[in-house]
Amino acid sequence: MVLVDTSVWVDYFNGVSTPEADRLDGLLGSGRLLIGDLILAELLQGFGRDADYRRAQRLLLDLPCANLVGREVALAAADNYRTLRTRGITVRKTIDVLIGTYCIRAGHELLHSDRDFDALERHLGLQTLR
């Protein structure tokens, strides 16, 4: 399965053509996509117009939704953050460490356009879709 990060969904819904948004477009309907609860909340809260919100919600609710954070993922994410810090790397957003850690543990690929995930890929084994 491929978990798609908010960074890619935002470009997709805004009609911004990036390699990642184009990849997402190609994967829609393939049965390989997964959305996470945190990503769903983060993405939907950003819509200003009700019509856009409802359209996006209809599309996103058709995807399987993973519960990204529980005790085990939270503990593993804290460990991962600390590991990166000992290597002189600070990830800017906790949510990115949680999302990346979930993917590592679940064996899912991540489609993203956020540099915070690069450290998780390089140092912790996060699999990304390029």
Contact 34, 2 (CB under 8 A): yes
pLDDT digits (tens), the chain, 130 positions: 999 999 999 999 999 999 999 999 999 999 999 999 999 999 999 999 999 999 999 999 999 999 999 999 999 999 999 999 999 999 999 999 999 999 999 999 999 999 999 999 999 999 999 7
Contact 124, 104 (CB under 8 A): yes
pTM, full prediction: 0.94
Domain boundaries, the chain: 2-124
2-124 is classed in which CATH architecture?
Answer: 3-Layer(aba) Sandwich (3.40)
Beta-bridge mates of residue 37: none
Give kind and range of the element (H or E) at residue 63.
Answer: none
> Rounded to an integer, what distance in angstroms lies between the CA atom of residue 100 and that of residue 109?
9
